[in-house]
Structure 1
Amino acid sequence: MDVAIRAAGERDRELVVRLLDEAFREDPVSRWVFPGDAHLRRSHHKLMAAFTDIVLAAGRVDVTEDGSACALWLSVPAADPAGAGPDDDGPAQVRAAVDPVNERVELIGRLTEEIHPADRAHEYLWMIGVAPERRGEGLGTALMMPVLDRCDREGLPAYLEASNADSRRLYERLGFTVLADRVLALPDGPTMWPMWREPRN
């Protein structure tokens, strides 16, 4: 599939936030973080905005030229998962900015930090969002392949957390495998699957 892709900048912020909000509003993890439809409508887009700002500042956001899909990537050095250090208070800061009374906003950040592999440098797919009406067209794969091809050329692994069974199957087709000893069962909530991809020769 021939899909035109470009690097997003600050001018694309609202587009990326809208895409992520639409793409993840029905995701099991999003519904766990923001239980109830009213809570989800009120706060979900704020969390997507916080994620977008973090990656625009420290990583790379790719978007399709037609604005139908986006991918958020961070280059993570060894022993520094997702830019976090021992004194990192990022999850608390996100909670304060997004939904201060909602402990789950902070908890999801802390739990995913705990399962994030830290021993090798890698590319981290933080999120990938496709407009709901464009799912099934291969846009997610098209967005991921340039980074995965570069990983293969440079000998870099890649990492992500799958938040639902459908995305997990897509990532498995692209060479990711579940890190079984790190699977995250959210308290009274859904499962997240940390997935790792070794570079291909």
Structure 2
Amino acid sequence: MTVTVRAATRSDLPALAAVFADAFFDDPVFSWMFPDDGSRSRRSGRFFEAEARHHMLALGGTEIAELDGRVGGAAMWAPPDRWRAPMGATLRMMPGLLRALGRHAARGQAVDDALEAAHPEEPHWYLSTIGTASYARGAGCGTALLKSRLDRIDAEHAPAYLESSKQENVPYYERFGFTVTGEIRIPRGGPTLSAMWREPQ
């Protein structure tokens, strides 16, 4: 099977959202924000699509990995000093995010507040989201996506940052040069994430 990486377009948004909904179905953060197993995929897909459509796609760092022509993985990166959504994008995103979260909107806000409070101030590339569909796991989509963007980041000699919501994924990111710099605890009984930083290479 051949993996190819390309820039995502607006027409890719439904497939991108479906990949992320699949990839994050058992994720501690998304399981907490969307506690109902029966509606999690549908609701989290709406969440990801709103974020991609109204903020991340326009930043030019959103890519998809195709596995023999089918979308198998996706990643959303924000370039330096652009990770925080501007007011206009936030207002456009809000209806979709609120529809997705429903009565658990406060949990979504708690996650957003905690991640923002912990976010480094130094300019950096920010890996907001990366995921692989269950059918494509082990085929190299995640590695191809990371390598694609990190090659460009290294050409700029820039640092990078991410939050890992699964402890078992930390060693994977460490292989790409990220190191754990701290813990991010979500209040209200939420999960804990690992903040990870990658120095310029």
TM-score normalised over the length of structure 2: 0.85
* Contact residue 124 and residue 160 of structure 2 kept, 8 A: yes
Which AA in structure 1 matches 2:113? R
Who is 2:176 aligned against?
174
CA RMSD of aligned residues (A): 2.4
* Contact residue 177 and residue 197 of structure 1 kept, 8 A: yes
- Taking the aligned partners of 1:30 and 1:190, their CA distance within structure 2 comes to 10
How many Å apart are 1:152 and its aligned residue?
1.6
1:132 matched to 2:134? The reply is: yes
How many Å apart are 1:99 and its aligned residue?
2.5
**4+ residue stretches of structure 1 with deviation over 4 A?**
none
How many Å apart are 1:125 and its aligned residue?
0.7
Which AA in structure 1 matches 2:139? E
Which AA in structure 1 matches 2:108? V
Who is 2:153 aligned against?
151
Structure 2: unaligned runs, 5 residues or longer: none
- Taking the aligned partners of 1:122 and 1:149, their CA distance within structure 2 comes to 14
When residues 38 and 2 of structure 1 are mapped into structure 2, their CA distance, relative to the original with a 3 A threshold, is: closer
How many Å apart are 1:71 and its aligned residue?
0.7
Identical positions, percent: 35
Who is 1:68 aligned against?
72
Which AA in structure 2 matches 1:155? H
How many Å apart are 1:22 and its aligned residue?
0.6
How many Å apart are 1:153 and its aligned residue?
1.9
- Taking the aligned partners of 2:116 and 2:145, their CA distance within structure 1 comes to 24
For residues 13-24 of structure 1, the aligned pairs below 5 Å read: 13-24=13-24
2:100 to 98, 101, 105: 98
- Taking the aligned partners of 2:56 and 2:85, their CA distance within structure 1 comes to 13
Structure 1: unaligned runs, 5 residues or longer: none
SS in 1 for 2:148: helix
For residues 45-84 of structure 1, the aligned pairs below 5 Å read: 45-53=45-53, 54-65=55-66, 66=69, 67-77=71-81, 82-84=83-85
